[in-house]
Structure 1
Amino acid sequence: MAPLLQLVIGLTAALLLWVAPVGAILNTDSYDGNIYALYAGNGSLVPPASTLGEAMDSGRTSVVIYYLDDSAVSKRFAPVVSELQRLWGQNIELIPLTTDGLQGRPASGAKDPATYWNGSIPQVVVIGPDSRLVFDRDGQVPLSEINQAISSATGLPAPDLGDINQDGSFNEVNVEVTSN
């Protein structure tokens, strides 16, 4: 009986050690979960507090971020989105939207996020309080450019980026936050 018990314990230990640990990987197009919680330390960004239609109806500046949870470029851009929330707080409607639901569907008007999505990720769109498109860029858009577009749309001065480490890291993960 003892050799059988040793065999069972040995096989159990081998199986436990053989299973790879779970881990999120920044530079792969793998699904790791909510990218804002994992890579920006800010799970409160999704779901957005309001829809684009609600923001337009209330006359607020909207910043729509199109992304995918399983995209390396979206993962690297997540800290920029979190920083926008910190910088602009209640002065804008920050609306991060996954593009899964937009793919292959026709747009249905100015209040529909599909109207502004160009098929790229990440994509940043700033819509002024008058529902005018102010800014539309895709890729790793520099924080300073988004900041200036929001300032132009809101009429508020852009927050100073001087004390933000734009080449630093967040949660021990290097991120691309540029000031070019």
Structure 2
Amino acid sequence: MQTTMTRLIAWVLVFLLTWGGFSPPGWAGLQDDRFDGNIFALYAGNGSLVPPRVTLQDALTLPERPAMLVYYLDDSRDCKVFASTVSQVQRFYGRVIDIIPITVDSLLPAAHPDPTNPIRYYRGRVPQVVLLGGKDGENHILLDEIGQVSLNHLDEVLANWFGITPRQPVPVAPRQFNDVNVELAPS
């Protein structure tokens, strides 16, 4: 009886230590390169960006309406931080431009991609922003930048495109308002 009880206690301890005692908690983190899920929903509080409303092919049929391609990875620290900026661009310009977030994991290589293939504009690093548009019926690259493009710079380019006065440059910084979500706020 004593050995049976000892074996049972040993099995219970092995089970608890293996399955319940040492499992790490599931934390989403803005400052790491781990996959946490949709970065726009988690870090920008905006799940409406993914999947995009339109495809690049559809957006290019209306060159007078700019298309903003955002190349990203869900497991990139830089992309997680940049998600908030993309959400703010949607807040200001979402009704007059097409924002097309593209995860680079979904891009398929092509020898000579046509203009409707997103890989044509991708330069191999994330985050990358490409603004396409043309008032002459042709699509032109208005902006092609890699890295943390500031909201003020994107606002300046888009305001120029629409012929309006850019907003007053405001120094903004990502501000974490809970364990996951981040917003751009005046610093």
Q: Match for residue 66 of structure 2?
A: 61
Change (3 A) 1:73 1:89: same
Whether contact under 8 Å (1:129, 1:153) holds in the other structure is: no
Cα separation, 2, equivalents of 1:115 and 1:139: 18
Which of 118, 126, 140 is equivalent to 2:123? 118
Deviations 1:56-94 (Å, cap 9, x if unpaired)? 103321111111111111111111111111111211101
- Following TM superposition, by how much is the alpha carbon of 1:123 offset from its aligned partner in structure 2, in angstroms? 0.6
Three-state SS of the structure 2 residue aligned to 1:91 is coil
- Following TM superposition, by how much is the alpha carbon of 1:2 offset from its aligned partner in structure 2, in angstroms? 6.8
Q: Match for residue 44 of structure 2?
A: 40
My pick for the range that moved more, 145-154 or 78-87, is 145-154
* Residue pairs, 1:29-178, within 5 angstroms: 29-59=33-63, 60-102=65-107, 104-130=109-135, 131-159=139-167, 162=170, 165-172=172-179
Q: Unaligned stretches of 5+ in structure 1?
A: none
Alignment RMSD = 2.9
Q: Which protein is bigger by CA-based radius of gyration?
A: 2
Q: Match for residue 16 of structure 1?
A: 20
- Following TM superposition, by how much is the alpha carbon of 1:49 offset from its aligned partner in structure 2, in angstroms? 0.5
State the one-letter code of the partner of 1:34.
N
My pick for the range that moved more, 153-162 or 132-141, is 153-162
Deviations 1:103-138 (Å, cap 9, x if unpaired)? 643352222221211111101111124411111111
- Following TM superposition, by how much is the alpha carbon of 1:34 offset from its aligned partner in structure 2, in angstroms? 1.0
Three-state SS of the structure 2 residue aligned to 1:166 is strand
Three-state SS of the structure 2 residue aligned to 1:127 is strand
| Length, aligned pairs only | 178
Query: So what's the TM-score if we normalise by structure 1?
Result: 0.82
Whether contact under 8 Å (2:130, 2:145) holds in the other structure is: yes
Whether contact under 8 Å (1:148, 1:158) holds in the other structure is: yes
State the one-letter code of the partner of 2:76.
S
Cα separation, 1, equivalents of 2:166 and 2:111: 35
